Amino acid sequence: MNPSYYVILAAILFTIGIVGFLVRKNALVVFMSVELMLNSCNLLFVTFSRVWGNLAGQAMSFFVMVVAAAEVVVGLSIIVMIYRARRSASVDNASLLKF
Amino acid sequence: MTLLEGLTPVAPTGLFTVAWLMIAIPLLSAGLLLVLGKMTNSFGHYVATLAPIASFAIAAVLFADLLGRPEAQRTVDASLYTWVKTGSWTIDVGFLIDPLSILFALLITGVGSLIHVYSIGYMAHDPGRRRFFAYLNLFIAAMLTLVLADNYAVLFVGWEGVGLASYLLISFWQHKPTAATAGKKAFVVNRVGDLGLTMAIFTMLAMFGSSSFTAVNEGAQHLTPTWATLLGLLLLLGACGKSAQVPLQSWLLDAMEGPTPVSALIHAATMVTAGVYLVVRSHAVYAETPAASLAVAIVGTVTLLAGAWIGTSKDDIKKVLAGSTMSQIGYMMLAAGIGPVAYPFAIFHLLTHGFFKANMFLGAGSVMHGMHDDVNMRHYGALAKPMKITYYTFLMGYLAIIGTPFFSGFYSKDSIIEAAWEKQPVLGALALIAAGITAFYMTRLMIMTFWSRERWQEGVHPHESPAVMWVPLVLLAIPSVVAGMVMNSWIGGWLAPAVGGEVPEHASWVPTITPVGLVTLAVVIAGVAVSYLVFGRKAIPAEVPYTRNILTIAGRHDLYGDAFNEAVFMAPGQALTKAVVAIDEGVVDGAVRGSGTLTVGLGAGLRTLQNGYVRSYGLTMIVGVIIVGLALVIGRLV
Amino acid sequence: MLLTILALVPFVGGLVVWFLRGATSRYVGIGVALATFALSVVVAAQHLGGANLSEHHLWIKAFGAYYALGLDGMGLLMVLLTTVLVPVVLLAEPADETGRWGAHVKVALVLILESLSLYVFLATDVLLFYLFFEATLIPMYFLIAGWGGAKRAKAAVKFLLFSLAGGLVMLFSVIGVGVSYASQGAPSYLLEDLAKLNVTPSVEMLLFIGFFVAFAVKAPMVPVHTWLPDTAEQATPGTSTLLVGILDKIGTFGMIRFCLGLFPDASRLATPVIVVLALISILYGALAAIGQKNLLRLVAFTSVSHFGFMVLGIFALTTQSISGSIFYMLNHGFSTAALFLVVGYLAKRRGSVQISDFGGVFGKAPVLAGLLLLGGLASLSLPGMGSFVGEFLVLAGTWSRYPVIAAIAATGMVLAALYILIMYQRTMTGPVTEQTEKHITTDASWLERLAVAPVIVLLLLTGFFPKPVLDQTDQTAKQTMTTMNISDPVPAAGKEGK
């Protein structure tokens, strides 16, 4: 089994995540793009764990999942609050945090 | 007997151990009067008057003791405590009672006491009387410290102390802006002189590791000629400041803003002669450096002419006397510059001058007292009649200062002129001419004040001053007459060991007739005669007459001393000050504020990056990551 | 333990005062300050009695940092200066409710500042010193920002930025010193260990410069002095007294203890430059003082000039000049305190510190005028005042090594007479002006006199009997000379001959 397929897949997923993060306006989609990037990293963790025969990578992917889940909870609630306040989930509209 | 034997001090015994009381008593009295304030208003001046009298008593007893001792025992060094001790330097507070300093102590406390008594009358109605007496006491204490100190550093404490007292007393009537300015000027000009003295002390400490008279006297012989000359000139600078010698003379005339007793005590009899004391005290240094000695003599001669010149053209009675003081101190400096032969004459003249000038100043004060504090002699005239005692005592002073035979000034001044004639003929000749000018301006003063017609302002009724004022006048008139006769035969021998001079062969109260003496007498008579011809035969105008005489105009303007200082020091100084303030606010602080502005501007530029769009932040991050990644890759490749 | 107690008493007192209100806070504050003073006298007695009061505990092992306190001659004098000035300031300034926070906060901040300053003077560990060196900025910043003139906030920021910038440069050197020492053996920040530091000359010079810059900002030397006049103008006179009297002394204190003590070779090399800088400070400060129109700024510039004298004395590297410099540090604290406090009394009555707003004050308030004159005379180093002994020794010591430099510096004495007497003449003498008549209605109160009295008494005492103090300064000076391995110039014209 060639690990490079997995690495390439992870790279593709990560790139999709980046592009989605940069071009989409909807906060939910942006959020999903971020999750995609996280999961592409998880995939790499698992892959290399397998390659090196070391379980630490797999354990790390669980950590990432837990953190991601916690983050989703906080992030989603923020998005919901923003949506309630502005009737819009566009990230460009929430641009008040500046000088 | 060699020079050093007389200088080796002996340990103090008996009353000598408490010689410091001479200083402590007036100092304590001054402190009490100032600290307790109004509480002492009613009796403060009596306390203050008793203080110098007590000091005088101590000085007199010590003097009597010294008189009874053999010559080698007459230098007593009473060390009190260690003042400064650092590294290898030790400076003790110690008092040297020797033939020289005890004469000064007697003069200061004696004349000082009389002037205190006089001031009781003179300042009777002044609201600041208590303060006045406190300052006077402070002065007595400082002046005694100056002359009794056994090293230059403690001398300097007294030196600046009298400067402070002089400042306080000149600007005593501080509500008058002229008085305040005059006081400040006196202090600042004195400080310039003090610079010389401090640097002289630094040199002594660096060269000898000590500033005591003994160490300096011994070490002076080992100085290189350059350092000896430098040291001599630095000491001269100090002396110039305190004694109002050219070029630091300008403060003395303004100092007449002070109450008249102050002018008599500080600016005639004692403080202004401190420079002469300093030079005489430093005889060992000047012995090593003919150049510096010559400088002292030249400064003295220039000043004695300048002072006399100013004296001829002033109408303010106190300023005439001030010019005369400058001139007389010039004589003393000249004597001090001539060398060991003339040192005793310098001190001799200093003492007689102390008597007759204090006498005349107090007389002038008495006249002003009767003339509603008017000082313009053009408003005087014919005061001999209403003010008999003042007139006769003043007359004694007049006869003494012009050098009438057998009066005190005759002995002391003629000795100086003769000594100068022998050593420095040119300076001697100038001193001789100045004797004629002295006779001229003093006769003018007498004519305008006591003789001639009355030119009193309306509402002025001259009257004799109260006894508390004329008794001191009488007591000062007596030594003005007899001091010369009494001391002439004695003072040379008495002072010789202390000033490194030689005991003169013979001297008595009978003046030796010499050609120079006769010429001097002739010049004096000529001066009196010319003065009579100019001023005595016609009425004195009550207004200042217009004149085209350049000499008179220059004299009226104090020989342009102030104009010179203004142009050379003050104007550039003020410009420099303004420049520094401008540079400080513009350039130095400007740079600071500039860097602040720069930082703010930089921040203002950078904060536009913070635009609030999440996606632009994301892009920035990604670009950053790519740059870092590229850098790593390139780093690997290189 | 005694030293820790001494340093902590005002700190604890300050915390207590923080929770008090009204007049009580001031009385308790004065009480704490006086207790600290009493304690410092006990410390002095013990120290002079020969007791070893130093303390030594390991603090951070990895860095070799210790909680180490100790006393030497100079430290003792600085401690006493601090414990004297704090009660004087608290006495002289009435409860100030016009500030941003309550008057009790001010008293508390002053006490906390006292504690931190004491630590600075007591610390014998470089890291500990640095910690408190920076910590003093906190209460001082709030003291400046909280009470005083309208532009005080700006002044406080300026003060803070200057000090922080200096402190940052010093931090590099502190770290550098520690790292260099650790590379030679077990890490340690103790002064006694660091004195044995052995680095190449160029590294030593860099480390030296780091310390010197910070201290030069503290002891305001031209050209990094501009924060002082602005701060003094805006802060209350009491705050300025603490700032110039105590905090700025850390600068000159540090130069002796750290610059000379840790980097003798670099100090020797840098001497010509620093001596010239000091000379510029003396003349520049004096000239600028003459030109000031504001009393507080004027006093600030006189301090710039005086600090120039101190630095000159330190880097002239003779026992006498260093000793005189330390002596001057002590007395400059007293003389500036007298000036600042009396100007404060005047400002309170007149509501202004512009020189042109005064005139003829003597006619209305002779005691106030007299006190100002006394302070001024101390500032112009009149013999009989302690400051004279300091200035005299600085100049005399400098003269024995560099006569020309000392001669130029000595002209500062004439300029000092000018700036003091011109100021005195313009404000105090002359006819009583209308404004003076209206505003200066009372002379100095008994409390005001009582507050300045100790300072003036100390000036006179140290002027007439300086020897006990000089014994202490000499101890530090001699020790420094030994560390520097340098000896005094020998009298040139001894008895050996020409």
Residues of B in Cβ contact (< 8 Å) with C399: 199, 202-203, 205-206
Give the contacts of C208 (CB within 8 A, at least 6 positions apart).
C173, C259, C262, C263, C266, C267, C270
Task: Mark yes or no for CB contact A21/B615 under 8 Å.
Answer: yes
Q: What is the DSSP letter of C27?
A: H
* B165-176: b (≥16 Cβ within 10 Å) or e: bbbbbbbbbbbe
Measured between CA atoms, how close is C355 to chain B, in angstroms? 16
Measured between CA atoms, how close is B631 to chain A, in angstroms? 20
Instruction: Determine the 3-state secondary structure of C385 from DSSP.
Output: strand
Q: Is the pLDDT score of A1 beyond 80? A: no
Mean pLDDT across B392-404 = 94
Name the residue type at position B252. L
- Going by pLDDT thresholds of 50, 70 and 90, the confidence category of residue B4 is very low
Contact C211, C251 (CB under 8 A): no
- Going by pLDDT thresholds of 50, 70 and 90, the confidence category of residue B505 is low
Residues of B in Cβ contact (< 8 Å) with A96: 612
- Name the maximum alpha-carbon separation found in chain C: 73
Give the contacts of B200 (CB within 8 A, at least 6 positions apart).
B152, B231, B234, B235, B238
Instruction: Give the pLDDT confidence of B234-286 residue by residue, as tens digits.
Output: 999 999 999 999 889 989 999 999 999 999 999 988 999 999 999 999 999 99
Instruction: Count other Cβ atoms within 10 Å, centred on residue B219.
Output: 22
CATH 1.10.10.10 fits A3-90, yes or no: no
d(CA B277, CA B148): 11
d(CA B482, CA B202): 42
d(CA B303, CA B430): 11
Phi, psi of B508 (to 5 degrees): -145, 180
d(CA C479, CA C263): 14
Q: How many residues does chain C have?
A: 498
> Cα–chain-centroid distance for residue B539?
37
**H or E segment to which residue C376 belongs:** helix C366-379
Q: Which residue has the higher pLDDT, B458 or B304?
A: B304
- Residue C284 tokens read as 């520049």
Mean pLDDT across B553-573 = 86
Shortest CA distance to B190 belongs to which of C430, A29, C414, C178?
Answer: C414
Per-residue confidence of chain C (498 residues) as pLDDT tens digits? 899 999 999 999 999 999 998 788 999 999 999 999 999 999 999 999 999 999 999 999 988 999 999 999 999 999 999 999 999 999 998 887 888 888 999 999 999 999 999 999 999 999 999 999 999 999 999 999 999 889 999 999 999 999 999 999 999 999 999 999 998 888 999 998 998 888 899 999 999 999 999 999 999 998 899 999 999 999 999 999 999 999 999 999 999 999 999 999 999 999 999 999 999 999 999 999 999 999 999 999 999 999 999 999 999 999 999 999 999 999 999 999 999 999 999 999 998 899 999 999 999 999 999 999 999 999 999 999 999 999 999 999 999 999 999 999 999 999 999 999 999 999 999 999 988 888 988 898 999 999 999 999 999 999 999 999 999 999 999 999 998 888 888 887 654 433
ipTM of the shown complex: 0.93
Give the pLDDT of residue C496: 43
Give the contacts of B195 (CB within 8 A, at least 6 positions apart).
B237, B238, C410, C411, C413, C414
Mean pLDDT across B217-239 = 92
Instruction: Give the pLDDT confidence of B133-159 residue by residue, as tens digits.
Output: 999 999 999 999 999 999 999 999 999
Is the bond leading into B52 cis (omega within 30 degrees of zero)? no
- Residue C344 tokens read as 């404060």
Q: What is the DSSP letter of C123?
A: B
Residues of B in Cβ contact (< 8 Å) with A30: 614-615
Phi, psi of C299 (to 5 degrees): -60, -40
Residues of B in Cβ contact (< 8 Å) with A22: 615, 618-619, 622
d(CA C196, CA A91): 62
**Mean pLDDT rounded to a whole number for chain B:** 90
Name the residue type at position B287. A
- Residue C47 tokens read as 């120290």
Give the pLDDT of residue B2: 41
Shortest CA distance to B343 belongs to which of B502, B499, B525?
Answer: B499
- Going by pLDDT thresholds of 50, 70 and 90, the confidence category of residue B506 is low
d(CA B64, CA B82): 29
Instruction: Give the pLDDT confidence of B433-455 residue by residue, as tens digits.
Output: 999 999 999 999 999 999 888 88
Q: Is the pLDDT score of B6 beyond 60? A: no
Phi, psi of B60 (to 5 degrees): -65, -45
Instruction: Determine the 3-state secondary structure of B123 from DSSP.
Output: coil
Report the share of chain B in percent with pLDDT over 90.
Answer: 64
Give the contacts of B70 (CB within 8 A, at least 6 positions apart).
none
Domain boundaries, given as residue ranges, for chain C = 270-489
Please tell me if residue C290 touches chain B, with a CB cutoff of 8 Å: yes
Give the pLDDT of residue C65: 93
Give the contacts of B94 (CB within 8 A, at least 6 positions apart).
B77, B78, B79, B80, B149, B150, B151, B154, B212
- Going by pLDDT thresholds of 50, 70 and 90, the confidence category of residue B7 is low
> Integer distance in angstroms from the first to the last C-alpha of chain C?
57
Least confident of B22-31, B147-156, B495-504: B495-504
- Residue C44 tokens read as 């002095």
> Integer distance in angstroms from the first to the last C-alpha of chain B?
96
Q: Is the pLDDT score of A76 beyond 70? A: yes
The residue of chain B nearest to residue C464, with distances taken between CA atoms, is: B83
Angle at C268 between CA C278 and CA C166, to 5 degrees: 55
Q: Of all residues in chain C, what percent are helix, strand and coil, respectively (each to 5)? A: 75, 5, 20
In DSSP terms, which residues pair with B93 in a beta bridge?
B81
* Lookup result for tokens 């007479």: C417
Q: What is the DSSP string of B261-288?
A: HHHHIIIIISGGGHHHHHHHHTHHHHHT
Give the pLDDT of residue C285: 95
Of A21, A94, A95, which has the smallest distance from its Cβ to B618's Cβ?
A21
Name the residue type at position B147. V
d(CA B285, CA B294): 13
CB-side neighbour CA atoms (13 Å) of C237 = 28
Mean pLDDT across B175-180 = 92
Please tell me if residue B610 touches chain A, with a CB cutoff of 8 Å: yes
Q: Which residue has the higher pLDDT, C211 or A2?
A: C211
d(CA B127, CA B130): 8
Instruction: Determine the 3-state secondary structure of B72 from DSSP.
Output: helix
Instruction: Give the pLDDT confidence of B315-337 residue by residue, as tens digits.
Output: 999 999 999 999 999 999 999 99
Residues of A in Cβ contact (< 8 Å) with B613: 91-92, 95
